[in-house]
Chain A
Amino acid sequence: MHNIYVYIIVMAAVTYLIRMLPLTLIRREIKSKFVKSFLYYVPYATLAAMTFPAILHASDNMIASVLGFAVALILAFRRKSLLTVAMCACAVVFVAEMFLIR
């Protein structure tokens, strides 16, 4: 039987190195226009890919999730703060689930 603590340490070491190496090794500003543009678009692509379609399964009920998604989209479009958008989405899901799940 392997030791769970060794597993945890192996996991932590690999994950930390992945995060740490680029941050400590890349000190200078990257000059390439393509790489700069690429890195600029990365967060939008990543966050969008992570949000959809995962948001549809974020709560127990898909209709509630869709309602939460719609409300979040509208509020985000109106430039509401992160906290407002997140909390309103939660509130909508919570209320919707009260009706949708008995």
Chain B
Amino acid sequence: MKEFRSGLKDAIPICLGYLAVSFAFGIQASEAGLSIFQASIMSLMNVTSAGQFSSLDLIHNNAAYAEMALLQLVVNIRYMLMSTALSQKLSSKVGTLKRCLIAYGVTDEIFGLSVTRKGRLYPEYSYGMIVCSVFGWVLGTFLGATAGQIMPHRLISALGIAIYGMFLAIIIPDSRDNKVVLLVVIGAMAMSTVFNYAPVISGLSSGFRIIIVTVVIAAVAAYFAPRDEEDTADA
């Protein structure tokens, strides 16, 4: 119960950030012709910002189901990397059902919180984070689809930075303690900036760009600065 509650509390920034992002999604979804219920149920079943935003175009253009499946695979394949990393944080005693529940909530943000938590990851902690985050995600979608014009826009705009503030709160303290992590952070930001503005590459979906940056930077770091056994054990 203590784990569940600390998961709930730690995920409040995620919840707020999701509220802002999914609010925007709700507005776009209703513009693309989805009903309030359809938009909300999509958020509940998918919990993936990039995947959901990119799907609207296909739905609007009446694309084939296979095309939709392929798009989701490309945009969301990074979750595979994250789930693999998470599998190493769980005790091998954690059963299949619990793993399946945790899998539902593997998002960039929840992953970020889970994997940088010291020691083992407890399923109850994940459940807490998932409940809090998904609540914000679905509520924001609902509000955006319902009342896009009523909510004060200035507030939504300010909440948009919450998630990034949280990311920085996760990665910066560790960069202070570990030079390699600092280089990884700077390198990834630099590479992502180049990818964001360079011709051709910037045409790739953001999910894909993040995969490339992650794989290249993490592989280079792992090659040149492999971690000692004991470091990895308590990491």
Q: Which of A14-60 contact B (CB under 8 A)?
A: 14-16, 18-24, 26-30, 33-55, 58-60
Task: State the interface size on chain A (CB cutoff 8 A).
Answer: 80
- A19–B102 CA distance with the chains assembled, in angstroms: 9
Give the docked Cα–Cα distance between A14 and B75 (Å). 11
A-B pairs with lowest CB-CB distance, top 9? A89-B165, A86-B13, A76-B172, A37-B222, A94-B158, A48-B188, A85-B169, A22-B83, A20-B103
Once A42-B218, A73-B168 are accepted as A-B contacts, the answer to whether A11 and B68 lie under 8 Å apart by CB is yes
Give the residues in chain B near A39, CB-CB below 8 Å. 84-85, 88, 218
Q: List 30 A-B contacts (CB under 8 A).
A: A4-B34, A8-B46, A14-B69, A19-B79, A20-B83, A23-B86, A41-B181, A43-B111, A43-B170, A46-B81, A46-B82, A46-B111, A46-B112, A46-B214, A48-B184, A48-B189, A50-B164, A50-B167, A54-B206, A61-B157, A68-B165, A69-B161, A72-B164, A72-B165, A73-B168, A76-B169, A76-B171, A79-B173, A83-B12, A84-B169
Q: How far is the CA of A20 from the CA of B192 in the complex (A)?
A: 27
Interface residues, chain B, CB within 8 Å of chain A? 9-10, 12-13, 16-17, 34, 38, 41-42, 45-46, 48, 51-52, 55, 58-59, 62-65, 68-69, 72-73, 76-88, 90, 92, 96, 99-100, 102-104, 106, 108, 111-113, 115-116, 153-155, 157-176, 180-181, 184-189, 191-193, 196-197, 206, 209-210, 213-214, 217-219, 221-223, 225-227, 229, 232, 235
Q: CA of A36 to CA of B65 in the docked complex: distance in angstroms?
A: 37
- Residues in chain A within 8 A of chain B (CB atoms): 1-2, 4-16, 18-24, 26-30, 33-55, 58-61, 65, 68-69, 72-73, 75-77, 79-91, 93-94, 97-98, 101
User: Once the chains are docked, how many angstroms separate the CA of A14 from the CA of B46?
Assistant: 9
